[in-house]
A and B are shown apart, each in its own frame.
Chain A
């Protein structure tokens, strides 16, 4: 089945999110849509899926114009979509989620699931998805949840499958698996619209590429195009993909962690006996597959974990038992892993979000009295400095794209006088332009003599930024290696295997 868009236009107030977009997705092809955050990719796909109504333009399926006024129409036309943010009900089973909205009941009015389960097993087996229809969604890893969404689309006979940034939430291994599955689906005749801003994935999986910038199609590069070419097309200017880092001699120890253990509320030990130092003017990157204790370690350092023992010393002061407020003020900038949930208050204005941890200090407040004018004025300054794209600093943070949200968090955290920067997954879900920006900011923090501690699951990020690399596996730091360690060796270490000669 082929899908064609002609001059699709959609605006939100003054903002034109999609400006006369033409797109042609052929039968059985993986068509990558590449664009920065805020380029209008999700908007375009929401139009195709009927969640948004276009201001103008046509949608054609197999050459015939169709009208899509809701997801039901889209499904009927053979278009399925997996959203950037999953739309599953956590306390339901896989089968229950999949039949949701299409429930069938038997003659006693009781939900009839056996048919659906059979279908799920069939599709799951066909694509090697390994999904059990009876498992509760909340117990499944993100990668599997995504497969549930894909199965749902396939069961309702999607011939064109739209995947909106499917890899944003996945680990490197899960990403590889998804890309493999996409190719299998394509070979069986499903067309796939693959939305992403990760260049490597595009090169690996796409048959055709359409690049969107600020709501307009800016090119259809060949799949043989280099990453630099793709990136500059996407961003609209030449982009340095390799991070430039000047050599610098690290100073004295800024942060010293000794024998740190972190337990969760049930008593499980998530971080085991971790010991390391971070020096001034050094970036220590903690690499590891998601869920190996990195998040807890980062949180423990800023005082967000309750059940810890061991010692955390910052600049000679033992901050192990300090409150979050006190650790932040003692000189730590903290960029949390989940910026939507922990980093920002989406209903607050951008200006308010920029002072979330400094609101009670001058110049924003004198005693208990806050000054909205000064808050707004300072926000304008920060927003310029960190190149946050927005309409007004009084808009809610929810109105920002992912990259700009992260810029707001960075602008807030790096505008305080700090000695240590702790950043968890600082570029997760960000586009090339924003990643470049974030990386440069992090390196300039290092160059100005701050100690920097990065937690990342992205190997590229780790090798690009780090001066030294710590690898975490099952709560332990199993290796402390040089920044020059190869990707392959790091990959093995992240899987808990010590390659020859890296034992530390």
Chain B
């Protein structure tokens, strides 16, 4: 019972924020649709038209994110192709989200998941196309390399903060640029040039280094999602059941008291940033070895930046982060279909994402809209990050 109530209070705020975002976006869809606007002379028709337009767009979103009946024959199972795409998009996002969430809990604001992700992608790619190893070993070696690269990249930030007090936000923002341009440069060097191609794309990773598909060759969903979920479970365990997690949370909640109790704040800072880096790097590995198969200039996408939103939406809690990443993965996958099937541009997805964040960041708004008094608000997350 107590657990149930806790669960409801955890989900209530993000859930309501999402509903509010859908509602406001629905208005935008309706008002940006010329066909709906033509009905403006009659309020009844106008409202009906607005509902129809928004409904159609959201149906397309659903079909693009979960299940598309048009793809369901002859093979019913193929109808789940969109769900597979959602999971593919969500997997790296879960990992980068965990990276940011873990750092949050230790009082650190990791804006650097983007750069760490890129280093992970580089590490995975190099081992994937450059080396030859037996099946199984190869993929593990690629993943470990990715995590070590990104872990060092993140840990460096932690070390800087521990030794000199340099603020992690500034340092990670700058290092994101370094990572992006390092990637560009790398792709212009000979070992990273693919035969017969002029554009910046590395050779594809070998079959033996790819993550196996989970639901047959037609669906792209792969072991990456399992890795991501396992990582979430691991981070949950680390935070809530391990002595290291205790240290991390203590430093995040009150560094002065942690220090007084004999916990080494510099060590925790360095370690947390290294682990956060490794998680983001694992995300890069999953992206390269699971779905992209080749390193490109755009390999980083916006996984590291969306991660901040995802971690906030998940209230810096590993389980919440998984759900938030699935939601974002769904929006990403569904947005393409929505754009193709309706007049609604994919940019609307960004609007929905932004609105969700807005409603989360301003819990008072959601509370006022839904007239809730008792809702527990986890607003500490955002501000905490800056204290360290």
| Partner-B contacts on A (CB < 8 A) | 302, 304, 323-329, 334, 336, 341-348, 352, 356-357, 359-360, 365, 368-370, 372
Contacts and interface: CB of A to CB of B under 8 A. Distances in A.
A348 B253 contact: yes
B241 A336 contact: no
B47 interface: no
Nearest to A352: B246
B243 A345 contact: no
Given A324-B259, A356-B257, A369 B242 contact: yes
A304 B254 contact: no
Contact of A325 (B246, B256, B257, B263): B263
Contacts of B254: 341, 344-347
Interface of B: 241-244, 246, 249-250, 253-254, 256-264, 380
Complex A-B, nearest 4 residue pairs according to Cβ-Cβ distance, in ascending order: A325-B262, A357-B261, A356-B261, A360-B243
Contacts of B246: 352, 359-360, 370
A352 to B, nearest CB: 7
Contacts of A329: 262
Contacts of B242: 368-370
A324 B262 contact: yes
Contacts of B253: 345-348
B163 to A, nearest CB: 13
22 contacts: A304-B259, A304-B260, A324-B260, A324-B262, A327-B262, A342-B256, A342-B257, A344-B254, A345-B253, A346-B254, A347-B254, A356-B250, A356-B257, A356-B258, A357-B261, A357-B262, A359-B243, A359-B246, A360-B246, A365-B243, A368-B243, A369-B242
Most buried by A among B256, B259, B260: B260
B241 A370 contact: yes
Main secondary structure of the interface of B (DSSP, over half): helix
Contacts of B249: 348
Kindly name the residue among A329, A345, A365 whose own CB sees the greatest number of chain B CB atoms within 10 A: A345
B106 to A, nearest CB: 13
Nearest to B244: A368
A188 B300 CA distance: 72
A311 to B, nearest CB: 21
A453 to B, nearest CB: 16
Central interface residue in B242, B253, B254, by most chain A CB within 10 Å: B254
A344 B256 CA distance: 9
A409 to B, nearest CB: 10
A370 B242 CA distance: 5
Given A304-B260, A324-B261, A341-B256, 9 more contacts: A341-B254, A346-B253, A348-B250, A348-B253, A356-B261, A359-B243, A365-B243, A370-B242, A370-B243
Contacts of A352: 246
A370 B264 CA distance: 19
Given A359-B243, A368-B244, A343 B250 contact: no
A82 to B, nearest CB: 26
Given A345-B250, A360-B243, A370-B242, A336 B260 contact: yes
A504 to B, nearest CB: 32
Contact of A343 (B243, B257, B264): B257
Contacts of B260: 302, 304, 324, 334, 336, 342-343
Contacts of A368: 242-244
A346 B256 CA distance: 12
Q: Which of B242, B254, B262 is most buried by chain A, counting CB atoms within 10 A of its CB?
A: B262
Contact of B241 (A323, A324, A343, A369): A369
B39 to A, nearest CB: 46
Contact of B257 (A327, A344, A365, A369): A344
B374 to A, nearest CB: 12
Contacts of A344: 254, 257
A372 B254 CA distance: 21
A372 B240 CA distance: 9
Nearest to A366: B243
